[in-house]
Structure 1
Amino acid sequence: MSIQKFSTHHSTGSIELNTMRTFVAIAEAGNFVLGGKKMGLTRSAAGKSLARLEAHLGTRLLHRTTRRVSLTSDGQYFYERCTQILSDIEDAEKSVRQDDMEPKGTLRLTVTAAFGRIVILPLLNKFLKQWPHLEVEISFTDRIVDLVEEGFDLAIRMGDMPNQSLMIARPIAKYSPYIYASPTYLAENEITEDITALEEQQRLIYGLNPNSSAWYLHQENGKDVTIAGTQRLRFDSGEAVKDATVEGMGVAFLPSFLAVDDLQKNRLVKLFPEYSGKEIPIHAIYPNRKHLAAKVRKFIDMLTINLQNH
């Protein structure tokens, strides 16, 4: 059934929300007295409100008997639509009001180890100073965490996210990987202007899988390059790759956030800066809940604001 069938008889103007709420209250209570009482109306006022609504729609919404009322077929349809509309409005109000709420309680957070230590911790300190009544428990791990099972409010993860209907993955930043080496390594090893010559250098590889050793780079003018070749050293930690690079043990392909501090302190040099790898997205992941807690919402907003211009 379509609500359009009501349009042939109704008068101009829209239905007020209180009129809609009164109708729902009467329908759910099963009589005018209790329905009106829920809305702070007398039986007479509730009856008049319903009569005006039925006249506006041009159809009968309720069957009346001496003891109770029941929904007509049109009334049933209209009731279902009204409850959905009122529920949506309530959700919107709660979402906006929550923005003004001060985060309290404990925020349980899990973050990728390197990104968490280098990027999240400084921002977390700023967040705690802003919201003094909030406590935080943080786990630094690169393993996949079941947020619901382990009781975490939020995860910060790197890379593309799998489709998970029970989770929301909100992108908050992107970082590109580049080629880096230390001044010590460059002093001892000649690197030509041909990027493909990197295959002859000592490459430091992230990941223990032998099939994950190639580096895929894209030049600003659209040229794609694949660097393979020497791979004597492998690590299962991005920070370990970076530390080994600083020590002059080889050339590395690192996300920019991992190298930025050593780059600024001249412990690393960016090679072939016109070449970069595929952007690495950073996501805030949280359970698919109807209302997001203020502590989670505020923290995600803070990360987004601070990281969008990194």
Structure 2
Amino acid sequence: MTEHLKGISVFVQVADAGSFTLAGERLGISKSGVAKSVARLEDHLGVRLFNRTTRSLSLTNEGQTFYQGCVRALAELEGAQSAVTTHQQMPTGRLRVDLPVVFGRRWVLPVLLDVASRYPAVELEVSLTDRRVDMVEEGIDLVIRIGPLDDRATVVARHLGVQNAVVCASPAYLDAHGRPTNLEELANHACITFERGSKARPWLFVGADGHPLSHPVRGRLWFNHSEAILDAALAGHGLALLSNWLVAEHLKSGRLEAVLPQIETQGFPIHALWPQTRHLSSKVRVVVDELVSGFLPVSPWDIA
């Protein structure tokens, strides 16, 4: 049983990192050691957990199902451990946290403020920025990051969920201009796009073969901020591709309507990161535990 628990931990690290090599660096073991651990777990389960090619690594359907169960189980174990250790050491001192601007303010800051209220000995310093900070060099205790992890073995990552995107528009716009039924029909619609370097970003989907699909779109309105795109979509100016955590409340209220729900959009993992140390400080642990409890196993912005 101990060996299988170790294999599960290695498996989750590989799924989060998307690489045997990077998972090995974070765990302090060799790439071959990681591969052997995953292979033993696959033999024990009798299923293949990863699709492996020379250039990519992705979860199989069975692997995705197993991964979600493992995340829930590990969260329970960490919560039990935290319940024991929290009474031994109350969080104190300055906690420096870096958050992505929009997601951080909407979903993480309320958790941080709640922690600050419950633990008056904690001094909270929060920066909101979308640049990739160097945690060690800048003295950051905790980072929330959306997207692939490219750090080396200097940080520890905790999975918090997945950001998916939704093509959506106001019902008034769709009633006036029709509802597209495939990607090709997007060319007949006003698409509110994210501008980067004077160019509109293409919209990212997942093709029938499971590979990323970049689809160019065009329209009259370009913005460099997701909340501005949301405002334009709510005002009926066209279709937008926006994060599910940003539009969930508007989809539920009917102010926005999902378009092309049968076509999968590219998702990005959400992680809590902290510097790799021998012992996780109680001030970081309490925040991570609160985020895990609030975001898993079902994200509060889940619109399914």
Correspondence for 1:290 among 252, 255, 278: 278
Query: Cα offset for 1:303?
Result: 0.6
Unpaired runs of 5+ residues, structure 1, are 1-92
Tell me if structure 2 keeps the 8 A contact 1:216–1:226.
Answer: yes
Q: Does 2:109 correspond to 1:121?
A: yes
Greater C-alpha Rg: 1
Matches within 5 A, 1:1-310: 97=85, 100-209=88-197, 213-218=201-206, 227-308=215-296, 309-310=298-299
Query: What is the distance in 1 between the residues matched to 2:201 and 2:264?
Result: 16
Alignment deviations for residues 128-157 of structure 1 (CA, whole Å, 9 cap, x no partner): 343333231111111122223322211111
Percent of aligned positions with the same letter in both sequences? 31
- Is 1:200–1:229's contact at 8 Å kept on the other side of the alignment? no
Q: Could you give the per-residue CA deviations for residues 42-86 of structure 1, whole angstroms, max 9, x where no partner exists?
A: xxxxxxxxxxxxxxxxxxxxxxxxxxxxxxxxxxxxxxxxxxxxx
CA deviation profile, 1:269-308 (whole Å, cap 9, x unmatched): 1112222312211111211222221110111121112111
Larger deviation, residues 207-216 vs 250-259: 207-216
Q: Which amino acid aligns with 1:208?
A: R
Shift of 1:236: 2.1
Q: Give the gaps of 5 or more residues in structure 2.
A: 1-80, 300-304
- Distance of 1:263 and 1:146 partners within structure 2: 36
CA contact (8 A) 2:193 2:201 kept: yes
Residue 290 of structure 1 aligns to which amino acid in structure 2?
A: R
Give, as a single letter, the amino acid of the residue that structure 2 aligns with 1:137: E
Q: How many residues in Structure 1 have an aligned counterpart in Structure 2? A: 218
> Are the counterparts in 2 of residues 160 and 281 from structure 1 also a CA contact under 8 Å?
yes
Question: Which has the higher mean CA deviation after the structures are superposed, 291-300 or 274-283?
Answer: 274-283
**Range that drifts further, 140-149 or 290-299:** 140-149
Residues 85-127 of structure 1: per-residue CA shift (max 9 Å, x gap): xxxxxxxx9xx74674221122111100010111112222333
Give the TM-score normalised by structure 2.
Answer: 0.63
Normalising by the residue count of structure 1, what TM-score does the alignment of the two structures yield?
A: 0.62
Deviation by residue 1:205-264 (Cα, 9 ceiling, x = unmatched) = 224146763223248997986532424433222222222211222211111001112223
Between the aligned partners of 2:222 and 2:251, the Cα distance in structure 1 is 22
